[in-house]
Amino acid sequence: QVQLVESGGRLVQAGGSLRLSCAGSGRAFRTYAMAWFRQAPGKEREFVAAISWDSTHSYYTDAVKGRFTISRDNAQSTVFLQMSSLKPEDTAVYYCNAGFFTSRTSYTSEDYWGPGTQVTVSS
């Protein structure tokens, strides 16, 4: 069992930066790969980035490569998403998730989700 709670979302201007945090609980946290997803109004939830349990591997969707960085601190059971050069199209509710990699470019989510945090990027 893993419980997850996101924080850090807010209103930010285009071009700005923001860091999201996801606090996890449960002994299993450090055994899972972790990921961020997002869901914009009227759209399906989409994958953003994932990181392996030991931080040796990370993977990003093309839309955020070079702008977002995922990291984790297993001692604190926390995963982060550093976002820079934000665009209005990054506006969404951001969710963290626990899962695993099936290959270097394929992440599968388990049914562990946080409630989400709203990121709004104004133009």
Q: Is the pLDDT of residue 28 over 90?
A: no
Structure tokens at 48: 């953003």
Structure tokens at 8: 């850090």
Q: pLDDT tens digits for 80-107?
A: 999 999 999 999 999 999 999 999 889 9
Structure tokens at 68: 């977002």
Q: pLDDT tens digits for 54-73?
A: 999 999 999 999 999 999 99
- Closest by Cα among 30, 7, 32, 10 to 20: 7
Q: What is the mean pLDDT of the chain?
A: 96
